[in-house]
Structure 1
Amino acid sequence: MRRKAARPILITDADRSQADQLRSRQVRYVLMMSVRGVCLLVAAILVGTKAPLLWLWLPLCLLGMVLIPWLAVLLANDRPPKEQYRFRHNRTEADEPPQQALPDASPPKTIDAD
Structure 2
Amino acid sequence: MVNGGGVVHTPANDPEPQDVAPVLITAAEPSYEEQLAARKRKYMLMMGIRIPCLILAGIFHDTWWLALAFVAISVPLPWMAVLIANDRPPRKAEEVNRYEREPTLIENDNHRVIDG
TM-score normalised over the length of structure 2: 0.58
Partner residue in 1 for 2:26: 12
Per-residue Cα deviation, 1:27-58 (whole angstroms, up to 9, x for no partner): 011010110001011011112xx3xxx22211
Which structure has more helix as a fraction of its residues? Answer: 1
* Cα RMSD (Å): 2.5
Q: What residue ranges of structure 2 are gaps of 5+ in the alignment?
A: 1-21, 101-116
Partner residue in 1 for 2:68: 59
Which letter does structure 2 place at the counterpart of 1:25?
R
List structure 1 runs of 4+ shifted beyond 2 angstroms.
Answer: 8-11
Aligned length: 78
1:77 matched to 2:91? The reply is: no
1: distance between equivalents of 2:26 and 2:65? Answer: 51
Flag the structure with more relative contact order, 1 or 2, with Cα contacts below 8 A and sequence separation at least 6. Answer: 2
1: distance between equivalents of 2:55 and 2:85? Answer: 24
Q: Percent identity at matched positions?
A: 43
Partner residue in 1 for 2:11: none
TM-score normalised over the length of structure 1: 0.59
1: distance between equivalents of 2:23 and 2:52? Answer: 38
